Amino acid sequence: MIQTENVGLIMVQKLLILLHFFLTQSCSIHNYEESLLSSSNPIEETIFLSIGSTQIFAFWSFSIPMWEVKMYPEVEEKLYIDNKEEQLLFLLKSLDDGRIIMFMNLAFLNFDHMVSHRLHIEENINNMSIFDFHFDPFEYEGQWKLTMITISEQHVIVESDAISKPEIPDLSEKLKNVKFILGGTGSINSYHLGIFRGRLSKILTQHLLNDKIKLLDST
């Protein structure tokens, strides 16, 4: 279980993530665009070596179903036919053995008229479980949505403003060196995931936020 002081730290970091993004939105268009993934090549890869006891990955997403896609940057195996019904959001991969630890995709669930951020996570070695974070489709498109993943030792917390917020199981083992990929498209564990249609912010971590706060303090 996460200790009380860690929970408090996580909440502070979440508030800093919110503050950072809203400060960016209030800046000029040029600075605003710098906080987002490229509209022509929407992918970002970040390597974390020897991650600490607590690591946060966060990003904002803004769905635009009619978004004109310019490039399809590949993740894992090449996807030959785009899939608009399931769109890749992020992937977390171990650099030590190449295992996919977790990935998330946007899914349009026609059977219950919901929108979902669907998390696939390794509960045991070579065994993934799936958890759906549902959104009201009338309050999803054209709105910024924050997703924050906190890994503390083996414990995982996923936070968002989704209607449903399932409890995520612990990882099978502690992580050491990982790669976080935001955006892109590809076939991952037999799932054929298309490109996200809309805008994604760049990856936000506590290290980035600490740098931003120092910059604000120096002005």
8 A C-beta contact, residue 165 and residue 133: yes
Q: For position 207, what pLDDT does the model report?
A: 62
Q: Which CATH architecture has domain 37-201?
A: Sandwich (2.60)
Q: At what angle do helices 206-218 and 4-25 cross, to 10 degrees?
A: 60
Q: E strands within 17-85?
A: 43-48, 54-63
Beta-sheet strand order (sheet of 144-152): 155-159, 144-152, 54-63, 198-200
One digit per residue, the tens of pLDDT, for the chain of length 219 reads 444 445 444 554 555 555 555 444 545 445 678 889 999 999 999 998 888 778 888 899 999 999 999 999 999 999 989 999 999 999 999 999 999 999 999 999 776 678 999 999 987 777 889 999 999 988 999 999 989 898 888 899 898 888 888 989 899 888 889 999 999 999 999 899 999 999 999 998 866 555 554 544 555
Cα separation values, 119 from 97, 164, 170, Å:
21, 12, 14
Contacts of 38 (CB under 8 A, 6+ apart): none
The token pair at 56 is: 């946060």
Q: For position 26, what pLDDT does the model report?
A: 46
Contacts of 2 (CB under 8 A, 6+ apart): 10, 152, 155, 157
8 A C-beta contact, residue 20 and residue 212: yes
Q: For position 77, what pLDDT does the model report?
A: 93
Q: For position 209, what pLDDT does the model report?
A: 54
Q: For position 56, what pLDDT does the model report?
A: 85
| 68: exposed, middle or buried (Cβ count in 10 Å: 0-12, 13-18, 19+) | exposed
8 A C-beta contact, residue 150 and residue 56: yes
Nearest of 62, 71, 58, 70 to residue 10 by alpha carbon: 58
Q: For position 50, what pLDDT does the model report?
A: 80
Nearest of 74, 50, 73, 53 to residue 178 by alpha carbon: 50
CA distance 215 to 75: 33
CA distance 25 to 11: 21
Contacts of 61 (CB under 8 A, 6+ apart): 89, 106, 144, 145, 147, 196, 198, 199, 200, 201
